[in-house]
Structure 1
């Protein structure tokens, strides 16, 4: 088991992890409520907005049961799709725990979605019930929903009468979290009262029908091209992934896990929420990221673990009140991050100033989501240049364009196979067949390499790769290098057409607050440290990047913008 002697092929290794779990979220919650009824499961500490939650595992189980029975009373059946459109509020977590008890499928909705995106998701996923907040940061969710399904306003008794929408033929119920009662919508707070008419035995019967291999949630990939695809994730995939991530990071029941990662993302609801559910620890949930609030919660709640993206850690480390010594963060022992390369300097700061050891993860939604993770004994240098080794029970190989496994250190596409691979894309058989081959390998679309010990280095996305004068250039490598400059906050590299070289690199650079930098300074920095073919020909400074609903940079927009600015021939290769 482990790494092949001659090729970039990792055969599934257990790492002493024991066997895979064969259970469901509802059953795990019941088990934790039985074994550690008085341990805190979920904490929200927001006295400034009147939100104080301290639910033990027993309380979380009981509240989830009430919501589950309320949904049954509204007619939600096994296999029905239930969408949640909300920020990180307690009701989101209740839905994540309640739906598995009745065999319904959670459909996560990105809170950045606008009307057209919401309509597509609700129709594509055959959503039966949507649970939503009214609005967030000027995004009027309820207004968007009613503009798609105006029939909602005609319903005087939403608890007894179902929605009949021409645009959304599967939609039957809309449930509103918080706020005043709205015509046509069921108030979330009414669910326990509605559920009182449902017998405990009826709920238990529904829960007993749920199997580990069943689809537990549908997560829509955002992507930068094509229609979003709904990845069907199973209980077996997500719960085992959560357990193995927690195990490798050394998380246990005594840990208090602070996170602001959005629950609509796999990081928020699997890597964070489910990891603590399986470990029996405590989640301290932030509704949204705010550096001062996060630092306050570390001190007030004695948080021991945090998951965040690098920009969040940087914001906290650079917060003036933290630099002035106002916050005690000595309780922190582990920080988790992923999604991009993390400079050694940042890891050193987290270790020296917080006393926390960094763990780096890499994955994709379709893999439930984590594929590889660093080990506690890995050096900072190894954690900054690789994403670690594959998790237990996970096969990984790196292949060339013909499907052949490449040698150690050679770039190619990363493929993964195992318990964590999704069942497929909902109602998209052709896209599923392109993503998962006949042998069960999930094609990630990521360019990567694997060394002789099984450590994986992410080079970039296949579609992002540019070819300059016959040489392959991987934007992620150049971006990572640029972001090591002390003045640079973020960098994105794209390829633009060139009549002589085929393609040239263009770097869009966002500087840290208060910093200034000339184009020549960037060029000199690159020239002194990068091979000639990797040097970006064009440098553009930018204040903000165009983003997809899930926060990914729209590189195609940056490329189109520069092509227009320079008057380039867009029909050339690039």
Structure 2
């Protein structure tokens, strides 16, 4: 797909990142040189390399250069702290880690013995043009998703399923050749990597990476670069609705949202106050990519309250306990080095158990009604209470902790922690929140802390979160 983009789109603009402007021909040449650099580094077919860096032109060239060399991409969440990232990098067996030094004042290091390469160095341009053949069923990427046990698991996907799935996404999202696609969704996430980069290479859209979301910067980019395509979480559209001069947004045509409940009023306001002609929503997960997508012409009500209809070649079933089950070509090959977790997630009949609770409307659209294991979504990022509770318990004054998601107007949901202190300990909510910010990604940090004498427990000693709610 990537190498053919030079023939298909040639001198069309492919990537705009600050002053850097590259055509598809130039991007493909750089990708092949990066492939050569990886080969010279000793990356063999099937070897894994991690990229722990924000959206940039170099991220794109590194990722597709690695795939062109036959390697397997392991994207790492830029919000992770050193220990969180180190665990993922070590377990992925990465041959090297590419980082952007100094981003978000983060210490981008790697486990001992793993080479760390600065994306902004001359590494990517140091190789001779190179490519290795790969098969469609070869693993292309391993994206780590936090399980409810709190330890991220690496979902393995292959080339063919990604290409088929995002061809359909591009069609339903109305992505066209020559579109100018502002990419705010992080590339370490399926939404950024696949609905962003893959679809742009499929369709010949110009990719404009955004490293950090800032509404003023984004508005300036939309106006200056004549942006037509702008997917993102509901928080993005909330921000655009506050822009005083809507004329600056006049080029916007297509939007895509998801990852949280969207009020019907928000969708109506997007249609009424912003220039979008199409707004798509959907439901997906790292382990299965797109599961459902809305259809062109869906009503405000449908886009806001449902996640659309099952994708072609994807079966969706609601189990007796209301859990959403998914089967089809898009389901992952399995979790990396974790057959037990794979067997737990994918049953003998090939159904992936999503852990999400849902139902179908009379028109066959999927509604997600809750999460079987309490996961909540903060501004588009999955937050897992068990993982956050584990971090909180490391505080010397904390005896017990339980975390739930509570509604938040801007972010959809945020974490609220109920904390029991150790006897004689003193701790303020602000101090615990501040302590948490140094230890976990920002979206995981509880926004609210309530101190209680005891947590409500059932007969087996499990916290009864329904009572906390």
TM-score normalised by length of structure 2? 0.82
Partners of 1:78 and 1:104 within 8 A in 2: yes
Partners of 2:318 and 2:358 within 8 A in 1: yes
Q: Please give the alpha-carbon distance, in whole angstroms, between the structure 2 residues aligned to 1:213 and 1:551.
A: 36
RMSD: 3.0
1:266 to 176, 187, 190: 190
After superposition, the Cα gap between the structure-2 partners of 1:431 and 1:328, relative to the gap in structure 1 and judged at 3 Å, is same
Equivalent residue, structure 2, for 1:160:
none
Query: Displacement, 1:251?
Result: 1.5
Equivalent residue, structure 1, for 2:46:
79
Q: What secondary structure is seen at the aligned counterpart in 2 of 1:392?
A: coil
Equivalent residue, structure 2, for 1:372:
292
Q: Please give the alpha-carbon distance, in whole angstroms, between the structure 1 residues aligned to 2:79 and 2:124.
A: 27
Kindly indicate whether residue 162 of structure 2 is the aligned counterpart of residue 189 of structure 1. Answer: no
After superposition, the Cα gap between the structure-2 partners of 1:135 and 1:224, relative to the gap in structure 1 and judged at 3 Å, is farther
Equivalent residue, structure 2, for 1:352:
272
Equivalent residue, structure 2, for 1:19:
none
Q: Please give the alpha-carbon distance, in whole angstroms, between the structure 2 residues aligned to 1:263 and 1:252.
A: 20
After superposition, the Cα gap between the structure-2 partners of 1:328 and 1:507, relative to the gap in structure 1 and judged at 3 Å, is closer
Equivalent residue, structure 2, for 1:181:
none
* The structure with more radius of gyration: 1
1:275 to 173, 176, 199: 199
Q: Please give the alpha-carbon distance, in whole angstroms, between the structure 2 residues aligned to 1:458 and 1:511.
A: 19
Equivalent residue, structure 1, for 2:416:
none
Q: Please give the alpha-carbon distance, in whole angstroms, between the structure 1 residues aligned to 2:410 and 2:51.
A: 35
Equivalent residue, structure 2, for 1:124:
91
Query: Displacement, 1:108?
Result: 0.6
Q: Please give the alpha-carbon distance, in whole angstroms, between the structure 2 residues aligned to 1:242 and 1:493.
A: 31
Kindly indicate whether residue 36 of structure 2 is the aligned counterpart of residue 63 of structure 1. Answer: no
After superposition, the Cα gap between the structure-2 partners of 1:78 and 1:455, relative to the gap in structure 1 and judged at 3 Å, is same
1:458 to 363, 368, 372: 368
Q: Please give the alpha-carbon distance, in whole angstroms, between the structure 1 residues aligned to 2:344 and 2:5.
A: 39
Query: Displacement, 1:177?
Result: 2.3
Q: Please give the alpha-carbon distance, in whole angstroms, between the structure 2 residues aligned to 1:372 and 1:110.
A: 25
Q: Please give the alpha-carbon distance, in whole angstroms, between the structure 1 residues aligned to 2:82 and 2:2.
A: 35
Partners of 2:287 and 2:332 within 8 A in 1: yes
Query: Displacement, 1:175?
Result: 1.2
Residues 46-87 of structure 1 deviation map (CA, whole Å, 9 limit, x = unaligned): 3xxxxx122111111000011110111111111111000111
Query: Displacement, 1:573?
Result: 5.7
Kindly indicate whether residue 55 of structure 2 is the aligned counterpart of residue 88 of structure 1. Answer: yes
Kindly indicate whether residue 8 of structure 2 is the aligned counterpart of residue 35 of structure 1. Answer: yes
After superposition, the Cα gap between the structure-2 partners of 1:506 and 1:177, relative to the gap in structure 1 and judged at 3 Å, is closer
Equivalent residue, structure 1, for 2:454:
567
Kindly indicate whether residue 262 of structure 2 is the aligned counterpart of residue 342 of structure 1. Answer: yes
Unaligned stretches of 5+ in structure 2? 379-383, 387-402, 412-428, 465-469
Kindly indicate whether residue 251 of structure 2 is the aligned counterpart of residue 331 of structure 1. Answer: yes
Query: Displacement, 1:242?
Result: 1.4
Q: Please give the alpha-carbon distance, in whole angstroms, between the structure 1 residues aligned to 2:318 and 2:150.
A: 25
Q: Please give the alpha-carbon distance, in whole angstroms, between the structure 1 residues aligned to 2:181 and 2:291.
A: 21
Query: Displacement, 1:122?
Result: 1.8
Partners of 2:16 and 2:22 within 8 A in 1: yes
After superposition, the Cα gap between the structure-2 partners of 1:568 and 1:70, relative to the gap in structure 1 and judged at 3 Å, is closer
Partners of 1:224 and 1:554 within 8 A in 2: no
Query: Displacement, 1:551?
Result: 6.3
Unaligned stretches of 5+ in structure 1? 1-27, 47-51, 150-164, 166-170, 179-187, 402-411, 466-474, 480-491, 495-504, 514-539
